[in-house]
Structure 1
Amino acid sequence: MNRRTAIAGALALTTGMALTACTSESVPQLEVTGAFMPQPVSDMAAGFLLVKNSGDTTDRLTSVTSSLSDNVSIHETKDRTMRMVTSFEVPAGGALDLERGGNHIMFTDLKKRPRQGETVSVELHFEKAEPITVDIPVKETTYSPKKQ
C-alpha cells in the first residue's frame, strides 16, 4: 500500500511539474514613454508614443480606446501611404515606436478638440499584457520631438 501511495504521489508531482512548464510562459514587461498628440486642427488627431518591452516575450498592441473618440484605430505608414492595421508587434527586448511620419494612433470624429496643454487619456490593449492607461499631453500642432 505504501509503495502505491509513493508511486501515485510521484506521478502527481511529475504531472504537475510538466503542466507548470507548459503554461509558465513569461509575461511581457511593457512601459510607455514619450507620448504626445499634436493639437488637432480638424475632427481628426494622431497620437504617438513608444512602447518598450524589457521582457523576453513578444506581445502585440491590438487596439486603443479613448473617451475622446469612438473611432480610434492603429495605422501603419509604408511608402508614404497610411492604412489601418489590426495589431503591431512589441518585440521581446525591443520597442514599438509610434512616431510622426510612421506608424501611429488615429482618432477620427473627435467629440471635442483638445487644446495644447491638455491631456488625452487612452487605454492601450495588448494580446498578452494587461491594458495600460496613458495620459497623452497635447502639444503644439507642429511639435516633433528630437530623436536621441
Structure 2
Amino acid sequence: MNHRTTTRRRTLAGGAIALAAALTLAGCNDDSGAKDSATKAKPELKVSGAYIPEPTMNDMAAGFFTLTNKGGADELTSATSDIAGSITLHSTKGGAMKEEKSFKVPANGHLDFASGGNHLMLEKLKRKPKQGEKVEMTLHFRKSDPITVEVPVEAATYKPEQHDSSHNSH
C-alpha cells in the first residue's frame, strides 16, 4: 500500500466519521425539538366515562372519569360543584388514600379516575344526590380553560365496563 492510498482512506474514514456525527447531532436536535413542541403544544382535553356512585353518606360522595389529552401536557388543579362545599383530589396506592394538590395530565395521554385509584371527593354535600340525577362539576387546569361536565349519579354498586387491551378473549 502506498502513501497516496493510505491518505485517501484516512480522508474517507474521517469524512464518514464527521458525517455520522453530524447525522447523530441532527437526530438529537429533531428529537428535542419534538419534545419541546409536545410540552409547549396546547392541551386538547376531553372528559369521558364520568359518574358518581349514589353516596351512602349524606355529606360525602366520590367522582370518577377519564381525562384524555390529545395535545400538550397540562395539570388538573381543582374541581368545583354547586352541590359540594368543596371537592378534593385523591390518589389511592396500596389501599391508602392520600389527598393530592394536583394531577399531571400527560401530553398525548390520559389520566384515569377510577374506583380504587385516583378519585374526586365531593365533601360537605348540600344535598345527597340520587341515582338517575346529574351533578354539574367543573374541572380546573393549570393551562386549559375549565371544563364543565354533567355527571350522572349511578347505583352505589355501579362498575363501568373495563376495556383491558392486555386481556385477549379466547
Identify the residue that residue 115 of structure 1 maps to in structure 2: 130
Q: How many residues align?
A: 126
Q: For structure 2, which runs of at least 5 residues remain unmatched after alignment? A: 1-39, 164-170
- Bigger relative CO (Cα 8 Å, ≥ 6 apart): 1
Q: 1:135 aligns with which of 135, 143, 150?
A: 150
Summarize the alignment of residues 62-77 of structure 1 with structure 2, pairs less than 5 Å apart: 62-77=77-92
Question: Once the 2 structures are TM-superposed, how far is the Cα of residue 26 of structure 1 from its aligned partner?
Answer: 2.1
Matching residue of 1:28:
43
CA deviations on 1:5-62 (whole Å, 9 max, x unpaired) are xxxxxxxxxxxxxxxxxxxx3210000000000001112100000000011x110000
Q: Based on CA coordinates, which of the two structures has the bigger radius of gyration?
A: 2
Q: Percent identity?
A: 47
C-alpha distance after superposition, 1:62-106 (max 9, x if no partner): 000001111211101111100110100110110000000100000
Query: 2:64 maps to which residue?
Result: 48
Query: TM-score scaled by structure 2?
Result: 0.71
Between the aligned partners of 1:45 and 1:127, the Cα distance in structure 2 is 25
Q: What runs of 5+ residues in structure 1 fail to find an aligned partner?
A: 1-24
Q: Which residue of 2 aligns with 1:100?
A: 115
Q: Please tell me whether residue 59 in structure 1 is matched to residue 46 in structure 2.
A: no
CA distance in structure 2 between the aligned counterparts of 1:67 and 1:130, rounded to whole angstroms: 19
What residue identity is the alignment partner of 2:60? M
Higher helix share: 2
Q: Which runs of 4+ in 1 moved over 4 A?
A: none
1:84 pairs with 2:95: no
